[in-house]
Amino acid sequence: MLKLKRQGVMKKITIIVLIIIGCTTAFVSCDSKRLPGKIYMPDMAYSRAYESYALRDSTKFTMDISKLGGNMIFYNNMSVQGTLKRGELFPYTLPNDSVGYAMSASVKNPINSMTKNQMAETQRLFNINCAICHGDKGVGNGPISTGGYVGGVANLTQPAYIAMADGTMFHSIHYGKGVMGSYASQLTKQQRWMIVKYIRTLQPKADTTTGTAAKDTSAIVKK
């Protein structure tokens, strides 16, 4: 009988202790959302974010790879070589020489068609970057050309440029050709390909039904 009473008392004590622990845990954990208490992996919960263009401690970071050593960390703000940003086209890898220029003729334009909005944007880009020399119609009568500042500006509506492959035209925009410099820093790869597509709409296209020249509007797709 005494043993049973002792077991009953111990059971009650155990229940009371468990209730106290439970209430204490609930009270502490719900005390403040701003102070969550202990964190299992604080480095993952509160990562030390780093702004790419923020000032760096010169005693810890260096942009000169030859100075690496000890506790110095090399960081140059550049993306890892070979990486592409989301939505970017594949890199253009042909070299800027006669071999690369010849091989560019086999490179296909990844842009098959453009919407009216894309065409309008490409026209704007052409007028900003290209029309200053080639003119808004591509006939080589831009203010730089007619003003006598630069000679030999190409008339993009001539047969030689009509026959030029899209890849070769892109190659020329990418690296520059003759008196024209590279536009790789001013225009993205997609924009450069779009301008090639836009130039095609400025060029006359043989009309097999009438024997006359007609503008190529195949790049425009109505919404």
**pTM, entire model:** 0.61
Domains and CATH numbers, the chain: 98-221 (1.10.760.10)
pLDDT in tens, the chain (223 residues): 555 566 666 777 788 878 888 777 666 555 555 666 677 776 666 666 666 677 777 887 888 877 776 677 777 777 777 777 777 788 899 999 999 999 999 999 999 999 999 999 999 999 999 999 999 999 999 999 888 888 889 999 999 999 999 999 999 999 999 889 999 999 999 999 999 999 999 999 755 444 445 555 455 444 4
HEC string for 191-220? HHHHHHHHHHHHCEEECCCCCCEEECCCCE
> How big is the chain, counted in residues?
223
Q: Please list, residue by residue across 94-106, b when 16 or more beta carbons sit within 10 angstroms of its beta carbon and e when fewer do.
A: beeeeeebeebee
CA 123 to CA 198: how far, in whole Å?
7
DSSP line for 120-159: HHHHHHHHHHTHHHH-TTSSS--HHHHTTSS-----TTSH
Partnered with residue 205 across adjacent β-strands are 214
Q: CB-side exposure of 22: number of CA atoms within 13 Å?
A: 6
Paired strand residues for 214: 205
